Structure 1
């Protein structure tokens, strides 16, 4: 199955209210990052064990590990969780940057080093979210 097909299946598998939120967020990110590479991570590891929630990814950058290895990965991602939605912004070196820069302005959300978690889109300022994603993509070195 194609990545867009996997993404569509994932979004459609969500409960009705969350499905609409995920679709709106997916469309918003596609409009913000036109032509970006799309990813779908089903949340399983190499042994087919579930290790995380499935994630839709956008963009591309190279992760550099301490042991010198590298790999391509998405710059931003969205994932449904039990209480709402998580938006991941990866590749920002300063793990305090997102919280310090966007934490107070975004609305009712928990902002950590690389994750913005909220219950529903109405709880946050989506303009601030989009700015945070654009900023994160620039800081991670948009490839």
Structure 2
């Protein structure tokens, strides 16, 4: 199954309440980054063990591990979880940056060093989310 088919199957497998939000975010990210690489991570490791929620990814980033190894991965990721939606902004080194720069302007969202979480797209300021995504993408 190709990446687009995997993404569509993932979106269709979501509860109805999350399908529209993930589809809207996916379309918006494709519009923002029309030429970036699109990823789909099913959440399973090499042995088939579930290690995270499935994630749609955008762009590329060379991840560097403590042991010196590197791996190509996505820069931006979107995923659902039990409480809502997570937007991963990988590669931000200052773990306080997201919260200090966008935390108060996002609306009903929480931030961590590299993640913005919210329950529903309508509860956040989508323009501020888009600004944070573009900012993170350009920093890497």
TM range (shorter): over 0.9
**Structure 2: how far apart are the matches of 1:66 and 1:49?**
23
Residue deviations 1:62-83, cap 9 Å, x none?
1112221111110001001112
Higher RCO by CA contacts (8 Å cutoff, separation 6 or greater) = 1
Give 1:137's aligned residue: 137
Moved over 3 A (4+): none
Q: How does 1:69-88 map to 2 (within 5 A)?
A: 69-88=69-88
SS in 2 for 1:17: helix
Secondary structure of the 1:23 match is helix
Give the drift of 1:104: 0.6
**Is 1:114 paired with 2:114?**
yes
What is the rounded CA distance, in whole Å, between the counterparts of 2:92 and 2:65 in structure 1? 14
Q: For structure 2, which runs of at least 5 residues remain unmatched after alignment?
A: none
Distance in 1, Cα, partners of 2:2 & 2:9: 11
Q: CA RMSD in A?
A: 0.8
CA distance in 1, matches of 2:34, 2:96: 28
CA distance in 2, matches of 1:130, 1:36: 16
Q: Secondary structure at the match of 1:22?
A: helix
2-structure distance, mates of 1:14, 1:127:
24
Q: Which runs of 5+ in 1 are unaligned?
A: none
- For 1:90, the equivalent position in structure 2 comes to 90
Q: CA deviation at 1:89?
A: 0.4
CA distance in structure 1 between the partners assigned to 2:96 and 2:90 by the alignment: 13
Distance 2:92 2:44 in 1: 24
